[in-house]
């Protein structure tokens, strides 16, 4: 049995509400049952703007009675009423949408508010069966059909094809022989409230960006730094170890911010007024790494500069040297680096003279260094020397709470750069928050730049995103067979389109017609 806890906020309840439930049982922290939360009471809370109030304030003590008043009005009077101009004038004067179907689910009437909220014109739906509207992706679910099926009032959250979200409450009107004659639904737009929820989330994140315990950052390049709940302790530790000269190893996937953290540590260390140098061990050919790192004497090898060259290690004297992709450092150089790490001494290529340097080394790798040591590709002694403190930088998919802030930061940065004023729709934020970001923050920054320069309109929407951005919505697991089938269908079509590129070939591979794949892509907004 699905249950909520009384301390949950309204906004949390909205995102977890099971769409096929009329009410959900609510329990307190002692696991005692306290009442029921219904979609109707949630709808009231939403409309009062009470998104962060605990749901206990909206709990009903008794389960709502799923019946409706029986009446003694002759059936023919209903027909006269629903087809009368008076009825249409009355419904058109309402602010909320009204949708009326007959007892089989065929649309009879929609009021003006419904057309305004959904962008669906009456001529598109009148005479249409509700199941066709769901099949064609015009609406995501039908409260009227559920009502006809269950013979009782039903409330559902519905997504309209224009992306707006509504709460629809449908009530059946019964004939004297207890058959459903009509279903009357009220339709409320909750898109604005969901937007409000996103705004709230964003504001909460802004507060979380810099933990209280962390002193203000002096360095200008960090004004865009986003720190969320999953990285707070990482930055706190970085802060603490920055003051010592301890060797630090940063581990994490590509693009997660290892270089950024190395610079952060430098700016917060006692060496902050000295130089910060960076060498990417995988970016230069093996035979050049040594001369780049240690420098060389005049004429020490073919192609060398006549006057010799100072290596990056010497240039870093007094400051910090960041060795990126340390796992790719050739074995023969590892012993030389060990000398630097242990004794602060090294020799230029082509020289026999030992030189002294004072450098703090921070290294980083996206590989599992312990595993490379086990394979014998990395010296164990060097591994332990470089790895006094390990900082594991989590991938972006494990830092979902930071994604909205990062999108905002980069949107602002690229808006400024390209003199644009682009914004993102809440759906787009939601979509990107649920994407897995294999390239992490670098991928996110690239995507935002690309969207800012390639979109023609000011509001970036889901339809502007490249097709490979496929989110996984954790709380939207299919609940019925129909939804499960739809999800599998959507995923297969999406994969086939990515693989084959055209609807013709993708349809062929899936064994369906081209028109069918086009229709389904429209339905699933692919």
Contact between 174 and 70 under an 8 Å Cβ cutoff? The reply is yes
- Measured distance CA(74)–CA(68) in Å, rounded: 17
CB of 300 to ligand ATP, least distance (A): 30
| Residues near ligand ATP, by CB under 6 A | 224-226, 252, 254-260, 324, 366, 406, 409, 441-442, 445
Closer residue to ligand ATP (CB): 36 or 414: 414
Closer residue to ligand ATP (CB): 164 or 450: 450
CB of 194 to ligand ATP, least distance (A): 26
Q: Which of 78, 108, 105, 109 is nearest to 94 (CA)?
A: 109
Which residues, other chains included, contact 152 with Cβ-Cβ below 8 Å and sequence gap of 6+? Answer: 66, 67, 68, 172
Q: Which two tokens stand for residue 471?
A: 């989110």
CB of 198 to ligand ATP, least distance (A): 20
Helix (H), strand (E), coil (C) string for 258-278: HHHHHHHHHHCCCCCCCCEEE
CB of 316 to ligand ATP, least distance (A): 18
Contact between 186 and 169 under an 8 Å Cβ cutoff? The reply is yes
User: SS3 for 158?
Assistant: strand
Closer residue to ligand ATP (CB): 255 or 426: 255
Closer residue to ligand ATP (CB): 155 or 405: 405
Helix (H), strand (E), coil (C) string for 182-231: EEEEEEEECHHHHHHHHHHHHHHHHHHHCCCCCCCCCCHHHCCCCCCCCC
The residue nearest ligand ATP at its CB is: 257
CB of 326 to ligand ATP, least distance (A): 11
CB of 362 to ligand ATP, least distance (A): 11
Q: Which of 299, 322, 294, 321 is nearest to 310 (CA)?
A: 294
CB of 2 to ligand ATP, least distance (A): 37
Closer residue to ligand ATP (CB): 226 or 289: 226
Closer residue to ligand ATP (CB): 257 or 426: 257
Closer residue to ligand ATP (CB): 37 or 256: 256
């Amino acid at each position: 049995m699905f249950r909520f806890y009384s301390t949950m906020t309204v906004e949390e309840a909205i995102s977890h509400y099971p769409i096929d439930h009329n009410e959900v049982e609510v329990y307190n922290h002692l696991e005692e049952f306290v009442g029921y939360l219904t979609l109707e009471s949630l709808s009231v809370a939403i409309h009062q703007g009470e998104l962060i109030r605990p749901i206990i304030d909206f709990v009903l003590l008794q389960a709502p009675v799923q019946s409706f008043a029986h009446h003694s009005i002759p059936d023919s009077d209903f027909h006269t009423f629903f087809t009368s101009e008076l009825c249409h004038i009355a419904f058109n004067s309402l602010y909320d949408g009204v949708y009326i179907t007959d007892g089989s689910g065929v649309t009879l009437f929609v009021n003006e508010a419904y057309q305004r909220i959904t962008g669906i014109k009456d001529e598109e739906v009148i005479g249409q069966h509700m199941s066709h509207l769901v099949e064609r992706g015009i609406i995501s679910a039908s409260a009227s059909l559920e009502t006809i099926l269950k013979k009782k009032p039903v409330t559902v959250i519905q997504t309209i094809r224009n992306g707006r979200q509504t709460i629809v409450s449908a009530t059946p009107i019964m004939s004297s022989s207890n058959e459903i004659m009509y279903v009357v639904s009220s339709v409320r737009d909750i898109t604005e409230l969901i937007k409000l929820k996103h705004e709230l989330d964003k504001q909460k994140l802004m507060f979380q960006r810099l933990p209280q315990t962390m002193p203000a950052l002096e360095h200008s390049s960090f004004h865009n730094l986003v720190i969320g709940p999953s990285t707070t302790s990482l930055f706190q530790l970085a802060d603490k170890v920055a003051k010592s000269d301890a060797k630090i190893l940063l581990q994490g996937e590509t693009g997660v911010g290892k270089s950024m953290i190395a610079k952060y540590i430098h700016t917060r260390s006692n060496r902050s007024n000295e130089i910060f140098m960076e060498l990417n061990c995988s970016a230069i050919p093996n035979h050049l790494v040594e001369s780049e790192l240690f420098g060389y004497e005049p004429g020490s090898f073919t192609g060398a500069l006549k006057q010799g060259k100072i290596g990056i290690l010497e240039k870093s004297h007094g400051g910090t040297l960041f060795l990126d992709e340390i796992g790719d450092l050739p074995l023969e150089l590892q012993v030389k680096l060990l000398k630097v790490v242990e004794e602060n001494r090294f020799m230029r290529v082509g020289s026999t003279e030992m030189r002294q340097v004072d450098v703090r080394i921070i290294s980083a790798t996206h590989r599992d260094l312990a595993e490379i040591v086990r394979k014998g590709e990395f010296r164990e002694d060097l591994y332990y020397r470089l790895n006094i403190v390990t900082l594991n930088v989590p991938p972006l998919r494990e830092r979902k709470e930071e994604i909205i802030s990062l999108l905002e930061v980069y949107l602002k940065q690229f808006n400024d750069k390209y003199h644009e004023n682009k914004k993102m729709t809440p759906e787009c934020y939601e979509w990107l928050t649920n994407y897995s970001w294999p390239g992490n923050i670098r991928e996110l920054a690239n995507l935002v730049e690309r969207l800012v320069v390639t979109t023609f309109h000011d509001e970036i929407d889901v339809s502007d995103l490249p097709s490979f951005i496929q989110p996984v919505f954790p709380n939207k697991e299919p609940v019925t067979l129909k939804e499960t089938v739809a999800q599998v269908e959507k995923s297969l079509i999406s994969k086939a389109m990515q693989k084959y590129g055209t609807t013709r070939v993708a349809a062929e591979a899936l064994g369906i017609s081209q028109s069918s794949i086009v229709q389904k892509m429209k339905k699933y907004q692919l």
